Amino acid sequence: MLAPGGGEDVGAIGLGMFVKLTGADTGGAYSLFEYTAPPGLGGPPTHVHTREDELFVCTAGAVTVELGGERHVLTPGAALLTPRGVPHMFFNEGTVEARIIAVVSPPGLENYYRDLNALPPGPRDMTKVAEVMRKHGLSLVGPGTDGPDAARDEPAPPRAEQVVRRMCAAVDEHDFAGFGAFFAEDARYRFGSGAPVRGRAAIVAATAAAAAALPTARHRVEQVAEIGRQLFCRFVIEVETPRGAVEMPCVTVIELATGGTGEGFPEIVDYRVHMDVSPVLAN
């Protein structure tokens, strides 16, 4: 028996990784791992396994998995098979830690994690990472890589996009204080042509009021572009109405402070929302 948190720690790429069972433990049947992903973690870049299939089972939080071009959100109890040969990646865009149990068959992936974990600390030398991946039958998918569909541009979300996803997740979960934590104390918030709202506390209150008017609203982040100290974010807001689900296009322009927060990401000093609400009004 292994106690919670037990197993061989082979953490890498920002994930907590614990080997629970190896091929030697299961008579060559499978390996068993537990992954822990802190909020906002981009996870591994899009990659392909050529030797093994993976079964992901979410046990806490929520994990977004992009598999073969399709997006899946796993919540506790949900499972997803990622077959060998199919590009995939996963990340935690929520506000709480996520946990996954991974069953890998045939076994052997533990040796890849051990070799990856043995690389020198500090910024990763991607040449060496690629060598380790090739040794164990894995390859990255994206520009400049030698994996299948190498021309596809599907890297792990950059830091700015991770933060935007966390902000959206906080609003969707009605964690308005968590949303407000991304703003400077004297930040400015403006919705369309409405009067600006000034100050973190007022922004939290305004966001809570807007969410109360549309309690079923959920954000779908489609694009985040970072230019200097500004983020240009394109969303779709999905809302359930008595006549069915509707989508509202939305663009948000975010201005960042010059300093960093405790997490190393600048606070927001100006936040402007431009949204087409006509689909909801029509219902």
Tell me the pLDDT tens digit for each residue of 213-224: 887 888 888 888
pLDDT in tens, 85-115: 898 988 888 888 899 999 999 999 999 988 8
So what CATH class is 159-281?
alpha beta
Indicate the average pLDDT of the chain: 82
Q: How many CB atoms lie within 10 A of CB 197?
A: 19
Domain 8-140: top CATH class: mainly beta
Q: What is the pTM of this model?
A: 0.53
Alpha helices in the chain (DSSP H): 109-117, 126-135, 159-172, 176-180, 200-213, 278-281
Share of the chain above pLDDT 70, in %: 85
Q: Indicate if the pLDDT at residue 26 is higher than 50.
A: yes
Ordered by start, the domain boundaries in the chain are 8-140, 159-281
Cα(280)–Cα(283) distance, integer angstroms: 5
Number of Cβ within 10 Å of residue 147's Cβ equals 20
